[in-house]
Structure 1
Amino acid sequence: MSAITIRPETEADRDAVHALLTAAFDGDGEAGLVAALHAAGDAVLALVAEADDGAICGHVLFSRLTVESDGDSFPAVALAPLAVLPEHQRQGIGAQLVEEAHRRLRAAGETLSIVLGEPAYYGRFGYTHEDAAAFDSDYQCAALQAALWGATPTTGRLVYAPAFSGL
């Protein structure tokens, strides 16, 4: 594969991102989630991987998540979804998207990211179930993982954007 460019998603990318998500997940559930997160203003960061020919071959989105504990609310982000077109998978594009997103999120002051995904894959980016195990979540299981980048709560209730309730 030729070089790719990682850049912020734009409104003009939305149709290509929808097609990518539908192909990568063999259905439109994740595409609907992304559209709903954007429509509600809950997307914190969305990046695309663009091939030399201008085609969008990868996408990642982080949405606003809050940790509620003892009447306080703390901002965090949720990674979902991460997708690469099937014909471009296993070439490091997903890793480049996550690493660039993490760099941007940390630079913006984010200190906690949550993902529900394959531990072996997301573990290489600093996510662990041990860091997420004490959170109360509708998704609590071994695949719920956290990446801690600074002073952040390690307990409390994880409250996802309303779009997640439609899954």
Structure 2
Amino acid sequence: MDLRIEQAGDRPAIAEVHRSGFGGEHGRTVADLVDALRRDDPGALSLVAVEKREVVGHIMFSRSLLDAPRRLVEVVSLSPLAVRPAWQGRGIGTALVREGLRRVGERGVPLVFLEGDPAYYSRLGFVAAGGEGFRKPSLRIPDVAFQVVRLPAAEPWMTGTFVYSQTFWDYDCVGLR
């Protein structure tokens, strides 16, 4: 498997990864969200997993904020992550998360937030964010799903309220619906 930065020619395959991975209307919304995040956050980290010259997985880390007592802190949101259904269960999502965390850590990002399954993400170092001094941006996010991982640039004073970029709100991709 090859993990690499997405290329412009990957975009149709990435959209299909999200449509098939999430399914239905939500899959179409997530594919549109990815396009909007590319436009709205040119610094977003967008990685693909390629098997046999086919894009089989995608992950994106985009700019968000932490409203901390001292100041606003630039952090990232890990969202979305998807793997084509036929390729799930082979460690592709895990490899994408690990590689993405390594790369955003090298960029000096202190914290990565997400909404997701704690059984899956806890294996990758994520913990319940509420227990770490963070507040979720929406009551629609279940407490157990609101998670964070601290990277080497994190400092103890970095606590507060996580704030998604406007793009997530525009596409109604915050919390459960």
Say yes or no: TM over 0.5: yes
Structure 2 partner of 1:135: 134
Which range is displaced more, 29-38 or 83-92?
Answer: 29-38
Q: Flag structure 1 segments of 5+ consecutive residues without an equivalent.
A: none
5+ long unaligned stretches in structure 2: 173-177
Counterparts of 1:24 and 1:81 in 2: how far apart (Å)?
A: 10
CA distance in 2: counterparts of 1:7 and 1:90, whole angstroms? 20
TM-fit CA distance, 1:90: 0.1
What residue identity is the alignment partner of 2:159?
T
Select between 39-48 and 96-105 the one with higher mean Cα deviation.
39-48
The residue number in structure 1 matching 2:16 is 19
Q: Aligned to 2:143, what secondary structure does the other structure show? A: coil
2:167 partner letter: A
Decide which moves more: 141-150 or 85-94: 141-150
TM-score normalised over the length of structure 2 = 0.85
Q: How many Å separate the matches in 2 of 1:135 and 1:119?
A: 16
Q: Over aligned residues, Cα RMSD in angstroms?
A: 1.7
State how far apart, in whole Å, the 2-side matches of 1:42 and 1:16 are: 20
TM-score by length of 1: 0.90
> Secondary structure in 2 aligned to 1:90?
coil
Q: Which residue of 1 aligns with 2:148?
A: 146
Would you say the 8 A contact 2:130–2:143 is kept in 1? no
Pair 1:100 & 2:126 matched: no
SS in 1 for 2:64: strand
CA distance in structure 2 between the aligned counterparts of 1:132 and 1:40, rounded to whole angstroms: 31
Whether contact under 8 Å (2:129, 2:146) holds in the other structure is no
Residue deviations 1:69-124, cap 9 Å, x none?
Answer: 33611011110111000000000000111111111111111110001000010001
The secondary structure found in structure 2 opposite 1:142 is: helix
Percent of aligned pairs with the same residue? 34
CA gap of 1:117–1:161, structure 2 versus 1, over 3 A, is same
Offset of residue 44 of structure 1: 2.0
Deviation readout 1:104-157 (Å, 9 max, x if unpaired): 111111110001000010001100005665322213611101000133344212
Contact 1:43 1:61 in 2 (8 A): no
Amino acid in the other structure paired with 1:164: F
1:156 maps to which residue?
160
The count of residues paired between Structure 1 and Structure 2 equals 163
Distance 1:42 1:157 in 2: 24
Give the ranges of 4+ consecutive aligned residues of structure 1 lying more than 3 Å apart after TM superposition.
130-133
Give yes or no for contact 1:37–1:43 (8 Å, CA) kept in 2: no
Distance 1:159-1:130 versus aligned 2 partners, 3 A rule: closer
Check the 8 A contact 2:115/2:147 in 1, yes or no.
yes
Larger helix proportion of the pair: 2
